[in-house]
Amino acid sequence: MKISVIGGSGYVGGELLRLLLVHPNCDLEAVTSRSYAGEPLYRVHPNLRGGTTLRFQKHDIESVTSHSELVFMALPHGEAVEIVPQLLQRGLRVIDLTADYRLKDPAAYKEYYGFDHPHPELLEKAAYGLPELHRSAIKNSQLVSVPGCMATASILGLAPIITNGFVDPARIIIDAKIGSSGAGVSPTLATHHSERSAGVRPYKVTGHRHIAEVEQELGAVGKGNVQVSFTPHAVNMVRGVLTTSHAFTQSNVTDKDVWKAYRGQYGEEPFVRMVSDRKGLYGLPNPKVTVGTNFCDIGFEIDDHTGRLVVFAALDNLTKGAAGQAVQCYNIMTGWDEKTALNVMALHP
C-alpha cells in the first residue's frame, strides 16, 4: 500500500518511519516536515541512515497525497484537525497520532484542549485506535485516532477489572511516570537535561488531558460513569511509561478472580503480556524491558489491608504508546498479520 507521513520529523514520526521502512506491505511515498523540507530523513533521524533515500517534503497536501492510499498524521496536537477532513474528502484512509479526534464529546475539547472542535461530526466516525478494545471498529474505519501513551497504559491496565465490576468506578487513582521523549522533540526548560536529570517532577497534577480519554474508554467498558484521579511525573529516562493505578474493591476479590479477568480479556492479544510472578528483579512491569517494542506489560497485587487493587502497566511511549500502535492499527485496517513489522523483543540490559 502506498503510504505518506505528514509530520515526520519528531520523535513519534521517527519511530513511525523506523517501523514503516521495514514493513513488507508498505511503500513509503512521502514524508513531510516544515523545518526540514529537502533534507534526507537520516539528517533528523540518524538511525535511518542507509535504510532509505527519501527526503522530507513540504506540507503540500495535494502533492503529498496524490499518490497515496493511506496517510499517517504525526503532527503536534491541534495541527491535524483541519487537515484530516481534507484527506477524508479525497477518499484516503487516515491514521491520526494527534489528540485531535480521540474524544467523542466535542465539549471535552473545550475543557481539556482549550478550543471548540471545528468538525464534531467526525468525532463519532473516528475509531479509537486501541486494538485490544476496538479491533472491529478500527478494521472498518476510514479514520483511526491513536490513543495517548499514558492513556493507553491506564486503559489497558484497568479495563478488565472495570468490565468485571471488581472496583469502585468513582474511586480510581492513577500515578504515571513518563520518559523525556514524551515531551516531544522541541526542547524546553522542563525537558532540559540538567533540569530533568536525577529528579522526579510532578506536572499537571490535576486536570491532565489524558483523563478525558481514560474516563471515556473505561466508562464504555464499564457501561457507566468512571472517575479517575490522574497525576503524571517526569522521570529520568528517555523512553517509557509506567502507570500505577490504585482501585478499591467492592467485594472480596481474590488473585484468582483478577487473573481470570485479565486472561479472559487479553489471553489472545499479541501485545499484552501479564507480568506478575512476584519473583526476580522484573517480577512486575518495568518499562525498561519494553523499549522499542509494541508490548504493554501488566501486573497487579491485592492489598488486603485496605481493600486496594494495585495495577501496574508498562510500555514504550513511542512504540505501543504511539507509532507501534499506529502500525498495529494499519495492519488491522489492511488485513495484514497484526504483528507485521512489530514482532520484536526489547534489548536488555
CATH number of the domain to which 215 belongs: 3.30.360.10
* Residues annotated catalytic, as ranges: 149
40 and 117 assigned to the same domain: yes
Q: Where in the sequence is the domain holding 205, given as residue range(s)?
A: 150-317
How high is the pLDDT of residue 186? 86
120 and 156 assigned to the same domain: no
Spatial strand order of the sheet with 127-128 comes to: 56-57, 27-32, 2-6, 70-73, 93-96, 143-145, 127-128
Domains held by the chain: number? 2
168 and 291 assigned to the same domain: yes
How high is the pLDDT of residue 339? 98
207 and 87 assigned to the same domain: no
- Do the strands 241-249 and 2-6 form a parallel or antiparallel pair, or are they unpaired? unpaired
CATH number of the domain to which 80 belongs: 3.40.50.720
Residues with Cβ within 8 Å of residue 285, at least 6 apart in sequence: 242, 275, 297, 298, 299, 312, 313, 314
169 and 263 assigned to the same domain: yes
Residue identified by cell 491514521 is 95
296 and 158 assigned to the same domain: yes
Is 334 inside any structural domain? Answer: no
Is 64 inside any structural domain? Answer: yes
How high is the pLDDT of residue 19? 98
Is 81 inside any structural domain? Answer: yes
How high is the pLDDT of residue 21? 98
174 and 265 assigned to the same domain: yes
- Residue closest to 23 by CA, chosen among 344, 348, 342, 347: 342
Is 145 inside any structural domain? Answer: no
In this predicted model, what pLDDT tens digit does every residue of 24-34 receive, in sequence order? 999 999 999 99
99 and 183 assigned to the same domain: no
Within the chain, which residues score under 50 in pLDDT? Answer: none
Q: How many CB atoms lie within 10 A of CB 225?
A: 10
* Complete DSSP assignment for 237-263: -SS-EEEEEEEEESS---HHHHHHHHH
Last residue of one domain, picked from the residues 125, 159, 175: 125
In this predicted model, what pLDDT tens digit does every residue of 31-59 receive, in sequence order? 999 999 999 999 999 999 999 999 999 99
Is 177 inside any structural domain? Answer: yes
Task: Show the cell assigned to 216.
Answer: 471515556
260 and 180 assigned to the same domain: yes
How high is the pLDDT of residue 241? 98
| Whole-number Å distance between alpha carbons of 230 and 206 | 7
95 and 221 assigned to the same domain: no
